[in-house]
Amino acid sequence: LIISSSYLDFTSAKVREWWAEQFSLSKYIGSTMDLFTWNDMNEPSVFNGPEVSMPKDAKSVTGVEHRHWHNLYGIYMQMATALGLQTRSVPIGEEQQRPFVLTRAFWAGSQKYGAMWTGDNTAEWGHLKISAPMLLSINLAGLSFAGADVGGFFGEPNAELFTRWYQVGAFTPFFRGHAHLDTKRREPWVFGDPYTSILRKAAMLRYSLLPYWYTTFYHAYSKGEPVMRTMWSEFPSDTNTFKLQDQWMIGDALLVVPVLETGKTSVEAYLPLGNRWFHLEGLKEESTSSGPHVTLSAPLDHIPVLLKGGSIIPMKMRLRRSSKLMFHDPYTIIVAPDAQGNANGQLYMDDEASLAHETKNQYNLRQFTFQSNMLTCNGLNAGYERMNTVERVIIAGIDAPKRVVLRDLDSENVSGIDLIFYHDASKRVLTLKKPDVRADKKWTITLE
């Protein structure tokens, strides 16, 4: 009898505990605290088995047949792996590190333990197109940290397909390239310019929006709100949104309308009426005077993303080699007023590494409001101090003021400081330069 692989019975608590212990740095030789884990083939996948999985009558250590726990196998494995990453070589009294575990098999509750992806796909336009409704369905089920293999797992994407897939991936919660061992290399630089520059642009846009992604994930964690949302989730009274699955929202502020077919340089978008919509790139307002159906320009180097009026989102514009290196960088605050001139949004901050936000309430949640030409920053939870400043405020769809005044309400000087500002009259975009006030403090900026 030749056994090519064996499967642990992760339905057993003792087995899960044993598995978690194997991640100790003293046992997992060559591993470090920066090494995380990918659980693959954990449906479980058995290539020569019936239904390409374990026989239904295979029994667990307690005598329960596989038919009863097949769907739980993946989540139990991910649960045990996450426990191992949390507890590996952490001295008593110190905070546990936040785990990262990617899994292919998942179940209700898997969102507590890590990320997941849609499994093996193919480098075809049809597979790019179907990835959106798949991820929207998974997000609706509460499992937000999900994505699809960018570029396709099987087959060879041409430069156009890979570029469009990369742009889509940059606006899905879990973003990574992954391909079969026998496929050709497809790193972003392989295709050469202009594609390398376009792919770099998409990746940089993803990184600049990480503060907004992080805040949106906090809402998923604390309220169960999806990160990647169907249109009808945000506009339930608009029945025209019910069948839309080729455009989606990231949180409640960003609308993504990607190119999903070859040769296209424009896309048809549905913009629910009663809202102002601004292009994220340049913040020019998109008109809906002729109705909700609009045509958006989408040359190969551009993915149409719009910011909903009434929103305020945080960004970071000093892009570096990793998010860790961006930790101390200042924020840019983008304000997109609604038809009444109002907007609101939030910024979530913690140490981005440990579980102290859970165990010690060490996080900072800021509330931004824009009303009567005044931007206000207040704290909803101030259990964690972050020294990051605000280096720029950009307000869309507004006329030029005569004066802009910053008042730091946490300092002794509340009389106000005049800020330098620039106004683009053609786009009606106002840029406030270097407020240099801390994001975790109370302050106001008034347009006079």
Rounded distance between C-alpha atoms, residue 216 and residue 238, angstroms? 23
Residue partners of 147: CB distance under 8 A and separation at least 6: 115, 117, 118, 135, 169, 172, 173, 174, 175, 176
Tell me phi and psi for residue 391, to 5 degrees: -100, -10
Helix (H) / strand (E) containing 39? strand 37-39
**285: annotated active-site residue:** no
The residue from 17, 40, 51, 352 that is catalytic is 40
349 in Cβ contact with 388 (< 8 Å): yes
DSSP letter string, 172-186: SSS--B---TTSPP-
Helix axes 13-21, 73-87, angle to 10 degrees: 40
Amino acid at 327: F
What is the three-class DSSP state of 11? coil
Q: If we measure between CA atoms, which residue out of 99, 123, 97, 332 comes closest to residue 210?
A: 332
Query: Which residue in 269, 324, 321, 276 sits closest to 295, CA to CA?
Result: 269
Distances (CA, A) of 79 to 82, 218, 225, 348: 5, 20, 22, 26
Contact (Cβ atoms closer than 8 angstroms) between residue 344 and residue 370: yes
User: Taking phi first (over 0 means left), then psi (-120 to 50 degrees means alpha), and beta for anything else, what does residue 387 get?
Assistant: alpha
Q: Is 120 a catalytic residue?
A: yes
Joined together, the tokens standing for residue 323 give 């998010």
Catalytic residue, from 43, 149, 391, 440: name it. 43
Residue 57: active-site member: no
Q: Cα separation of 92 and 149, whole Å?
A: 39
Q: Per the omega criterion (within 30 degrees of 0), is the bond before 236 cis?
A: no
Q: Which of 17, 51, 120, 418 is catalytic?
A: 120
The residues near 374 (Cβ < 8 Å, ≥ 6 apart) are 444, 445, 446, 447
Q: Report how far residue 302's alpha carbon sits from residue 286's, in angstroms, rounded to the nearest whole number.
A: 16
Question: 3-state SS of 81-113?
Answer: HHHHHHHCCCCCCCCCECCCEEECCCCCCHHHC
- From first CA to last CA, the distance across the chain in angstroms is 83
Please, which residues have CB within 8 angstroms of residue 322's CB and are 6 or more apart in sequence? none
Q: Which residues are catalytic?
A: 40, 43, 120
